[in-house]
Amino acid sequence: MKDILRAIGNVFFKMPLGFVVTLKHLFKKPVTLEYPKKKKPMAPRYKGQHYLERYDDGTERCVCCGLCAAACPSDCIYMEPDENEKGERFAKVYEINQIRCIYCGFCEEACPEEAIFLGQEYEFSSADINSFVKTKDQMLVAHPRKENPFKKLLRKARKVYGTVDK
């Protein structure tokens, strides 16, 4: 008798509550993303693949001072300096070993020329271990540059979070 009363109580008072919950969720937007097709926008200060900036006229910002390599805790930056015909220093070789890199962003903070940044790209898996050593050609932004969407985000982020302006 107790069982019967409890069952009747459940049918009329408790089970409808459960049904309402699932029905509500039926009409909500799914939280899952179809990943390779749609990507989640990363946070503005997300630290992903590095890139090297240029001045507006196209010359490279990096002067190969070596501060980023000195700041790097995992010692993954390698560079060789050179001088051009005007006597300005630039990096002849600039390599970042992505497997060593811990994406801490110290290089970005150390850079006095605002040359290196950590971008938003995070899909860098590869079957070839040598491809993880990124060379300067791979990291330098194109010139004439396409509007770099990450730069805009970065500017916004700086406004919000307030980075020291150099």
Partner 1 sequence: MFEIILFATVKVIVVVAAVLTGCAYSTLLERKVVGHMQHRIGPNTAGPFGLLTPIADAVKLIFKEEIVPSNVEKLTYLLAPMISFVPALLTFAVVPFGKDNNFFGRDVALVLSDLNVGVLFVFAVTSLGIYGIVLAGWSSGSKYSMMGAVRSSAQMISYEVGYGLSIIGVIIIANTLSLSELVTIQTGPLWGTFSFLPNWFIFSQPLGFLIFLTCAIAETNRAPFDMPEAESELVAGYHTEYSSMKFSMFFIAEYANMIAVSAVGTTLFLGGWDGPFLDSLPMLSVVYFVIKVFLFMFFYIWLRATFPRFRYDQLMAFGWKVLFPLALLNTLITAFVVIL
Count Cβ atoms within 10 A of the Cβ of residue 68 and give its class: 0-12 exposed, 13-18 middle, 19 or more buried: buried
How far from each other are the two terminal CA atoms of the chain, in whole angstroms? Answer: 80
Count Cβ atoms within 10 A of the Cβ of residue 44 and give its class: 0-12 exposed, 13-18 middle, 19 or more buried: middle
Site for partner 1, residues 70 to 99, rule: CB under 8 A: none
In the complex, least distance from residue 43 CB atom to partner 1, rounded to whole angstroms: 22
Nearer to partner 1 by Cβ, of 6 and 89: the residue is: 6
Structure-token match 């990363």, residue found? 42
Site for partner 1, residues 31 to 60, rule: CB under 8 A: 31-32, 34
- The reply on whether position 13 binds partner 1 by CB under 8 A is no
134's enclosing H/E stretch is strand 133-134
Nearer to partner 1 by Cβ, of 11 and 93: the residue is: 11
Nearer to partner 1 by Cβ, of 16 and 66: the residue is: 16
CA distances from 18 to 13, 23, 97, 105, 157 (A): 10, 9, 53, 48, 43
Q: What is the contact mask toward partner 1 in residues 16 to 35, using x (rule: CB under 8 A)?
A: --xx-xxx-xxxxxxxx-x-
Q: Which of these segments, 1-9, 51-59, 70-78, 80-88, binds partner 1 (CB under 8 A)?
A: 1-9
Q: Letter for the amino acid at 130?
A: N
In the complex, least distance from residue 23 CB atom to partner 1, rounded to whole angstroms: 7
Kindly list the residues in this chain that would bind partner 1 in the complex (CB under 8 A): 3-4, 7, 11, 15, 18-19, 21-23, 25-32, 34
